Amino acid sequence: MRREKRNERKEEEKIKWGKLISFVIAIILLGVAIAISMSQENTVGEMSYSNLKNNSNNTTVLPTEEASSELSKNVNEVLMANTINETGGDNEEENDNEIDEIKNSLETNANTAQNNITEKNGTIEKEQNKQEETNKVNEDKAQEIKFIYPIEGEVIKEFAKDSLIYSETLEEWVTHTGIDIKAERATVVKSVADGTVKSIKNDPRFGLTVTIEHSDGYTSSYSSLLTAEFVKEGEKVTQGQTIGTVGNSAVFEVAQDNHLHFELLKDGSNINPEMYLK
């Protein structure tokens, strides 16, 4: 009997010690597992924070306060997720999923912010290009030719390209693509600007006519001349140089007093000379 009791006590002690050892081993394994899990989760948190920092550096200036607030919110979410993981959390798999969602949200918001910045930069670039074009136009205007009057005298018939004006010679209402400047017969006619003599001819309507080409697409025409022997076709002339004298050779304006019929064209289209002559 005593031997059996001793054997039972030994068996009980073995069972107790076995349970104790199993419990200790379980505790150790659980601690190792928790340590490994925390290490992995901290690594993920550090990677998330590093990615956030890099994205923040790449977008130094966010286009709107809303995007900035959203990124700040996500930073807090990452930090909160790390805190949860460090304290153990209720569910490790759920925490991992939350971190992945936050990472994806951060990447999406960073891409959206970058796209907004790109669009804003594109708009600014377009505005700058538009301003540069405007400045160029203004510079071109500032550099336009300064024309002088070909002769001094009264303008007796004004420019009327888009309206009708009465012609004493034709006795009807007609358009008038130039201006008529009254002057004494044989008054010297001068070139309004530097240029090249394009032609010297007898026009069937406006008589003896000298045409001069200038820069920037301008052309000047001097009609109803008495003489034009001072220049020849192809000759380069300077502003103020004599090109002919006033006569009354314009058939369509023969009923008027002696005058110079003067026209100014821009890119082949008649413009009002009085808007340009100084």
What domains lie within the chain, and their CATH numbers? Answer: 2-141 (no CATH), 155-275 (2.70.70.10)
CB 189 within 8 A of CB 244: yes
- For residue 132, what pLDDT band results from cuts at 50, 70 and 90? confident
Give the contacts of 115 (CB within 8 A, at least 6 positions apart).
none
Residue 139's pLDDT is 53
Judge whether residue 209 has pLDDT over 50: yes
**Separation between Cα atoms, residue 42 and residue 46, nearest integer Å:** 6
Nearest CA-CA partner of 222 in 175, 278, 265, 174: 265
CB 205 within 8 A of CB 249: no
- For residue 3, what pLDDT band results from cuts at 50, 70 and 90? low
**Separation between Cα atoms, residue 278 and residue 269, nearest integer Å:** 20
Q: Pull the structure tokens for residue 246.
A: 């006033």
- For residue 130, what pLDDT band results from cuts at 50, 70 and 90? confident
Look-up: residue for tokens 């550099």? 143
List, for residues 39-60, the tens digit of each pLDDT value.
665 554 555 445 544 544 444 4
Q: Which residue has the higher pLDDT, 160 or 107?
A: 160
What would you measure as the largest C-alpha separation in the chain, in angstroms?
163
Global confidence as pTM: 0.51
List, for residues 57-97, the tens digit of each pLDDT value.
444 444 444 444 554 454 445 445 444 444 444 555 665 66
